Chains A and B, each alone.
Chain A
Amino acid sequence: MASLTYGTEEWEKAYLELVKERQATQSKPYIMGTPEWVAQYEELVQNDAEYKEAAKDWEGSVVIKILAKPEIGLDSDLYMFMDLWHGDCRYIRLVPPEVGESGDYVITGEYERWKSVMAKELDTVKAMMQGKLKLKGDLPSIVRAVKAASRLVDLSASTEPRFPDELSPEEIEGLRKLLQEAKEKFGI
Chain B
Amino acid sequence: MTKGMRTRSMGRVLAAAAVSLLLAAATGCSRSQPPGQPTGASGPSPGPSAGEGQVLRFTIDYTKDREAEVQAIVADLRKIGIEVSARLWEKQTLLDAAKTGEREAYTTDWGSSTFSPYDLAIPKLKTGDRGNFSHYSNPEVDRLFEVGSFGATEEERRQAYFKVQEILKEDAPWIFGYFRMTVEAASARVKGYRPALDSRMNLHDVSLEGGDTLVVGLLTNALQSLDPANHRDRETETVIRNIYDGLVTRTPDGKVVPELAESWQTDDNKVWTFTLRQGVRFHDGTPMTAEDVVFTFERTLSPTGIDGQPSPRAGLLGPLEKVEKVDERTVRFTLSQPFPEFLQLLPHHQIVSKAYVEKVGSAGLSERPNGTGPFKFVSGRLDGEVILERFDDYYGGAPDLPPVGPPPLRRVVFRMMPDPASRVSALKAGDVHIIQAVPVDAVPDLEQDPAIQVLTAEGTRLYMIELNNKVFTDRRVRQALNYAINWDAILSAVYGGTAQRVPTAMLPSGFGYNPDVQPYPYDPDKARELLREAGYQVR
Co-assembled chains A and B: no
